[in-house]
Each structure stands twice: as structure tokens, then as C-alpha cells.
Amino acid sequence: MTGASAGIGAEFARQLAERGYGVTLTARRKDRLEELARELSESNGIEADTVACDLSNAAARRRMIQTVEKRGRSVEILINNAGFGTAGRFQELDPENEIRMLRTNVEAVVDLCGHYVPEMVERRRGGILNVASTAAFQPIPRQTTYAATKAFVLSFSEGLHKDLGGTGVTVTALCPGPTKTEFAEVAGIDEGLLELPGIVYSAEQMARAGLGALDRGRRTSVPGPTNLAGAVAGRVSPRAVVLEVLDRFYPVGK
């Protein structure tokens, strides 16, 4: 499970541990991973491993995979949750950070699926949960790169879901909307925007919805009526209209 040190990733870990699954947690922050692993082991009596890894780095991903293999762990459920965003006009952002976002949000997802999917297919069982976003359903000014990376994750997951039909392996794209996590702080977004009742959801709600959708073999999950309405509007509305409305009223990066 990637991006497990906080937010939705930590909630995925807690809910899987409650089901009795052993978990392998990876993220950059080793101290947080180890703290969560202790919590899960003590509360649920399961084995919880940690592997600190910068998922934007291909060599680090290889080392992580090798570490998991040396420990004799078999990945039955792969959760690609790691990711981050930025906010602001593209020309004003750090280009190196935008490239790091691409490597984390997109390249790592494809890389890990590329490694673990064939193993799952050979066993004829397994599940993959890729965390996209409601941002995936339309381009978003001032979050240009982030929305594009999540559009890739959604499209990739939906195509992979069909590719794996009949293999015993299922793929679900979870598309959260605004969620109370550290995402806003990292992206430089006003955290006051995450205090809107009925619009902003908890990490626990998003994780539960994602695992439930994976259980049912659903291709895509957009939890919450406001999120679903926004996703549908983003997908069916003319691009020119969507871009103009978002550029005027989207309260991020202004």
C-alpha cells in the first residue's frame, strides 16, 4: 500500500487490518509508517511491515519491491494511493516539482501494476485499487498537472479493469473529492475550504467507499452525491464552458 503514512492511505491500512489482512506500508516518512504499523499490529493482531520509499524514484521502487519479496510477502491487494498536488498558474510553479508529481501520481502506478498484475493473473486472484480524483473528469486551471495525472489514473484503471476481465483480478479507480487530509497543506490550498459540510468528506469515508467498491468489483467509485454530480458535469459539459467556469470560480491557487 503506497502513501500509507497519513490521510486516506492510513485509513485503508486500518480498515484492511480490521479485516484481518497483513499489510505492507510504504511512503517517504518512515517514522509515521512505523507508528501506524505498531498501532495496527497491537489493535488487530496482524503483521504490519513498513518500507520507506520515495515513489517518484524508479530505483527506490525497485528496492522496495525487492524488500517485499525478500520478506516473502505475496501482494493480494495493491493500493496505489500515493500522490500529491500543487496549486497555482503552471508558469509560476516549480517545473521540477511538477515532474516529480507526474512520476509519483502516474509513473509509480503503472510501474507497480506492471510488476504485481502478472503475478495476480497467474494466481487468478487479486485486487488493485488506484486512487484517482474527481479532478480526473475535467481539466482544471491552476491545478493543471494534478488534474491531468488523475485523468491518466482513471483512464488507465478503467482500461485495465477491462483487460483483466475473466482473470480473477479486479481493478477499481477511487475518485475522492475534497477530503480532510494533508493534501491541502502540501498543495498550498486554503484549508478553510475543507470545512464545508456535505461537500468535504473524511478520509475514513473515502477509504471505506473505495474498499467496498473493490469488494464488489466495480470499475469506478465516486463517493458522495456532490462528488458524483461534479464528476458527471465535468465529463459531459463542453470543455470551453468547464474551463471558463473553473477559471473564474474554482477557489484553488488564486
Cα–Cα distance between 80 and 201 in angstroms, integer?
A: 20
Q: Return the SS3 of 118.
A: helix
Q: Which amino acid is it at 65?
A: I
Within 13 Å, how many C-alpha atoms sit on residue 25's CB side? 33
Grid cell, residue 155, equals: 483512464
* Residue 201 host element (H or E): strand 201-202
Q: Return the SS3 of 224.
A: coil
Q: Which segments within the chain are labelled E, that is strand?
A: 23-27, 48-52, 77-80, 126-131, 169-174, 179-180, 201-202, 220-221
Catalytic option among 21, 146, 201, 250: 146
Cα–Cα distance between 9 and 202 in angstroms, integer?
A: 12
- Angle at which helix 58-70 crosses helix 108-123, to 10 degrees, equals 30
Q: Are 118 and 164 in contact (CB under 8 A)?
A: no
Q: Dihedral of CA 241/243/246/248: which sign?
A: negative
Within 13 Å, how many C-alpha atoms sit on residue 170's CB side? 12
Q: Are 175 and 222 in contact (CB under 8 A)?
A: yes
- 21 among known catalytic residues: no
Q: In this structure, what are the phi and psi dihedrals at residue 248, rounded to the nearest 5 degrees?
A: -80, -40
Furthest C-alpha separation in the chain? 53
Q: Which residues are catalytic?
A: 146
